[in-house]
Amino acid sequence: MSIETAKHETPLIEARNLKKYFKIPHKGMLHAVDDVSFSVYKGETLGLVGESGCGKSTVGNVVMGLHSATSGELLFKGEDVFKARRNRNHELYRKMQIVFQDPYSSLNPKKTIKKILSEPFLIQKICPKGPELDDKISELCNLVEIPAELLSCYPHELDGGMRQVVGIARALSLRPEFIVCDEPVSSLDVSVQAKIINLLMDLQKKLDLSYLFVSHDLSVVKHISNRIAVMYLGQIVEIADKENIFRQTMHPYSIALLSAIPKVIKDDNERGARIVLKGDVPSPLDPPGTCRFAPRCWMAREDCYTRPAPELKEVSPGHCVACHYYQISREMMKKAETANTIQI
């Protein structure tokens, strides 16, 4: 049963207790994704945000079948996705797609753009090469505004932004309902980033798409998402709709994450003191059974190190947090800011 009760309709995508562990020889078990559950509803974007090692990209890869899950379930409109994949059910290939991060390795350098965009139709045997295929490709190009002249070009002749547009076109070719966007704008310049974000949002409205938007950039995630999940060391520590994540942040990690982002200051006194976390972003190798954030937590108490890890609980409608002391976190935050504590 999903822990989120924000809406009462059936979610399009439902992930239940996903786990992905990697065995590292001589080192131990890497808990890349450790019991992650979430839902994505039709026409909405769930932002998945966190730093390196939190497992957000692995979640995307498991959802798309690029990694097989160690355990857990994934449902698409109620259907078991992992089972369908084992049975090579093609319907799912058309319904779920992915846009990758790196515009330089996401397109085969030896193929023209036209060839790249033809592949999905040929693989899925939707139509053979010929005028019908050409029509479908033109339609696709019009949808994302790729000028027709670029069809005969090779990827290296296009700039990063345009390559990403081609990657998006490729993902849309089979008319999916759900798209995982894995850091799609992280490698792009600021002005190009805006173009891609606008494109993704326009397409979402036009085609009623649902996105799982994975990124380390909170500002971008805030702009495009309806709901946001914050991940730390393989687990979701907080999940809420956009407004609440920013106005009513409860988990101390989310608070620190927000505080860390450099802001463009336009007026004096706009910037409060920053809460800086101690130490480095750890690796999810053989994590303890207690709270994983405690060692770096700015408001950790004695018992945070001994009590079993906090579970993700719904604390207000649609807002879930995994922290023993979430009730006082906002109060503590204000104290820390006024005391101007800077810990490095």
Partner 1 sequence: MKKLLLKRMLKSAFFVVGLLTTLFILVMVLFAPAITPYEPNQNSLTERLQPPDWSQGFDGHLFGTDNMGRDLFSRVLYGGRSSFFIAFTSTLLSAALGILLGLIAGYYGGIADVIISRLCDIFIAIPSLVMGIVVSALFGVSKINLIGVMIATSWIKYTKIGRNNVVVARSMEYVHASKVLGASSWRIMIREIFPNVTTPLLIQVSQGIGSIIILESTLSFLNLGIQPPDPSWGNMITNGRNFMATHPWMVLAPGCALMLTVMAFNFLGDGLRDVMDPKRN
Partner 2 sequence: MEKLLEVTDLRVQFKTERSIVNAVNGVNLTIHKSESLGLVGEAGAGKTTTAMAILNQLANNGKVLSGDIRFKGESVFKMPKRQLQKIRGDKISMIFQNPLTSLNPVFTVGEQIAMVLRHHKKMSAKEAREATKELLKAVSIPEYRINDYPIQFSGGMRQRVGIAAGVACNPELIIADEPTTALDVTIQAQILELLKKMQQDYNTSLLMITHNLGIISELCERVAVMYAGRIIEYGTAKEVFRSPLHPYTQGLLGALPTLDDQKERLTAIPGRVANPQNLPDGCRFHPRCQHCMEQCTHLAPIMRKINEDHYVECFYAEESEK
The region of 21-29, 95-103, 205-213, 231-239 touching partner 1 under the rule CB under 8 A is: 95-103
* Residue 163 DSSP SS3: helix
Write the CA distances from 268 to 128, 157, 258, 271, 272, integer angstroms: 63, 45, 20, 8, 10
DSSP class of 229:
E
By CB under 8 A, the residues from 115 to 154 that bind partner 1 are 116, 119-120, 123-124, 154
148: partner contacted, choices partner 2, partner 1, none (Cβ within 5-8 A by kind):
none
Alpha-helical regions (H) of 19-152:
56-64, 81-86, 90-95, 113-123, 131-144
Least separation in angstroms between CB 82 and partner 2: 31
176: partner contacted, choices partner 2, partner 1, none (Cβ within 5-8 A by kind):
none
Nearest to 183 by CA among 86, 105, 300, 125: 105
Footprint of partner 2 (CB under 8 A): 51-52, 159, 161, 189-195, 197-198, 201, 216, 218-220, 222-224, 246, 256-268, 271, 274, 276-277, 280-281, 342, 344
- Pick the closer one to partner 1 by CB: 167 or 284: 167
Least separation in angstroms between CB 145 and partner 2: 11
DSSP class of 291:
-
- Pick the closer one to partner 2 by CB: 176 or 184: 184
142: partner contacted, choices partner 1, partner 2, none (Cβ within 5-8 A by kind):
none
Alpha-carbon distance of 328 to 80, in angstroms, equals 40
82 binds partner 1 (CB under 8 A): no
- Pick the closer one to partner 2 by CB: 9 or 268: 268
Report yes or no: 218 and 231 within 8 Å, Cβ to Cβ.
Answer: no
Alpha-carbon distance of 178 to 158, in angstroms, equals 27
Print burial letters for 273-300: b (CB count within 10 Å at least 16), e (below 16). ebbebeeeeeebeebeebbbbbebbbbb
Report yes or no: 204 and 211 within 8 Å, Cβ to Cβ.
Answer: yes
- Pick the closer one to partner 1 by CB: 120 or 287: 120
Report yes or no: 59 and 229 within 8 Å, Cβ to Cβ.
Answer: no
- Which helix (H) or strand (E) segment holds residue 237: the answer is strand 235-241
Q: Are strands 96-99 and 178-182 parallel, antiparallel or unpaired?
A: parallel
Least separation in angstroms between CB 28 and partner 2: 18
Report yes or no: 325 and 344 within 8 Å, Cβ to Cβ.
Answer: no
- Pick the closer one to partner 1 by CB: 15 or 299: 15
Q: Please select the residue that binds partner 1; options are 20, 31, 170, 251, rule is CB under 8 A.
A: 170
Least separation in angstroms between CB 51 and partner 2: 4
Q: Please select the residue that binds partner 1; options are 17, 108, 316, 338, rule is CB under 8 A.
A: 108
330: partner contacted, choices partner 2, partner 1, none (Cβ within 5-8 A by kind):
none
If one counts every other C-beta atom within 10 angstroms of the C-beta of residue 92, the result is 18
- Pick the closer one to partner 1 by CB: 98 or 291: 98
- Pick the closer one to partner 1 by CB: 46 or 99: 99
Residues found near partner 1 in the complex (CB under 8 A): 64-66, 90, 93, 97-98, 100-102, 105-111, 116, 119-120, 123-124, 154, 157, 167, 170, 174
